[in-house]
Amino acid sequence: MSQLADLAEEGLTASLDIAGDTFAWNGRPYSAIIDHVNRTATTAKSYFEGGPYPQCGDPIRVNGKKYQITRKGNARLKAVRGGFVEDPPFVDDPGEPALELQFDHFVKR
């Protein structure tokens, strides 16, 4: 990573430590800046080292309530035969330290 990207990552994680809230995914809490009105959670990609990011369609818990991820960055939840897919596919910009998720009540197909 470049020095600028390192500084951006440090600033993001410091902000999350100071003003962050949490959401739970796969039973683990993650710090995030959560906008409860627009139902978005901005977190650090570095929290997911060694594992995948949450997928559109995955359940998360915010303030004890269960929601479904409907958007991850540029990818959106799309119902297809047999389940859900991310459409368009998520594009991971390595220079962007933040991961923005949008969540809502569960989608019924």
Domains of the chain: which residue ranges?
3-104
The CATH code belonging to domain 3-104 is 2.40.10
Q: What is the pLDDT of residues 9-57, one digit of tens each?
A: 777 777 777 777 999 999 999 999 999 999 999 999 999 987 799 999 9
Q: Which of 44, 47, 43, 24 is nearest to 33 (CA)?
A: 43
Task: Tell me the whole-structure pTM to 2 decimals.
Answer: 0.85
Q: What is the pLDDT of residues 78-87, one digit of tens each?
A: 988 988 899 9
